[in-house]
Amino acid sequence: MKKYKIFILLLTFILVQTETQATNDSLLAKPSNGISTGMLFSSNGLGIHLSKTLGQKGICALKLSASYLPYTLNNFVINVDGSNINLNANSSTGFKLKLNGKIELGSANLSAEIHPFKNAFKITAGAALMVSRIDLIATPRDSLKQGDVSLGPDEQGEIFFGLTVPNLCPYLGIGFGRAVPKKRVGLNFEIGSYYIGSPKLAFRTTGMLEPTSSEEKKLNNNLKTYYALPVITLGINIRLSK
């Protein structure tokens, strides 16, 4: 986490310096009006945007963007520490699960960017149609044995774990860089967060793992703290208008 913070601050510093230099060169002389498009590299996926300045002063812009990043988990093994495999003849702590499924990150955003200080610093507010969701099936990795009976992973049951966020979420962020750059190409950086309330958990267990369904409440309680989904975005903007 510490390295992550240092990286963010360093990146911010570089961007601020870049933008400050650009501002010194041309910002005040020429308002950044027009339309731009570009690519987004964000923690919410890869995407594109289409932006248009509002008004003549170039301090406000409307941005339509979309990003998406699917990720497939294939036999990803996790260890669930402290698990109580409640067997008469064989109890142990720790239980290895194989995760299979899909994690999808993405959204379609409509946002407004305001440059309150008339420089590259911006505040972004908007709303997003969220497509982010997690759908995973966890199955035991190892066989279990009781007495003379050994049950393979496929015979023990499954845990279905699904996580969804509301379809429509507000977004607030700040950053540097203009949606419509003054030059042909510009960079911007933004950090913000979607307000997702509490993610909705779908949790279902089958077979021998059915008693684990009592853990749903615990998971829900843990997830209640995730009311916001932070996003860091790095964008490359290409000005379309002259």
Partner 1 sequence: MKKINVLSVAFLAIAIYMVSMNSGCKLKNPTEGFAITAKADFVTAPSSFKIFDIARNGYNKSLEGINITISGKDAEVVFNSGARRIFTINNGMVNICLRRGTVATLTNPLEFNIEIKADGYLPTIYPVKLTSLEPIDETIYLTNINELPKGADKTKGNTITDSSGTTTGNTIIVLPATSQKTEKAVLEIPTGITMTDKNGGLVTGNISVDILHFTASTGESIKSFGKQSDNVIQDQNGSTLDQSTLVPAGWLNITMTGDGKNVKDFSKPVKALIEIPGNQFNPGTGANYKIGDQVDILSQDKGTKTWVSETQATVQKNLATNKLFVEFDVNHLSTWLAGSMKNKCGSLTIPLSSNFILGMADGTPIEATFMVQYFANMSTTDMLFEIPITQSFFYNASNPVLIVNYEGALPVEVKNGLLSAVVNGSSISQSFASGSRAINTCEIKLNLGTINTSSTFTGNFRAKCISGSTDYATLPNGSTVYYIKESDYQSNSRPANSSNLWSNFSANAATASVNWNTVSLPKTSFSTSTEYRFSVNYENKRYDYLYTMPASIPDDIIVELEIPCN
Question: For binding to partner 1 (CB under 8 A), which residues are involved?
Answer: 1, 4-5, 8-9, 12-13, 16, 20, 23-24, 80, 82-89, 95, 97, 117, 119-121, 144, 146-149, 151, 155-157, 159, 173-176, 191-193, 208-212, 214-215, 218-219, 221-223, 225-226, 228, 230
CB of 89 to partner 1, least distance (A): 8
Nearer to partner 1, 130 or 134 (CB): 134
Largest alpha-carbon pair distance within the chain? 84
CB of 68 to partner 1, least distance (A): 21
Task: Tell me the HSE value of 3 on the side-chain side, using a 13 A CA sphere.
Answer: 0
Alpha-carbon distance 232 to 119, whole Å?
20
Q: Using alpha carbons, select from 24, 16, 8, 128 the residue that is nearest to residue 68.
A: 128
Tokens 């992973």 locate to 153
CB of 242 to partner 1, least distance (A): 27
Nearer to partner 1, 145 or 184 (CB): 145
Token code pair at residue 131 = 């497509």
* The residue count for the chain: 242
Are 192 and 230 in contact by the 8 Å Cβ rule? The answer is yes
Nearer to partner 1, 219 or 241 (CB): 219
Nearer to partner 1, 70 or 211 (CB): 211
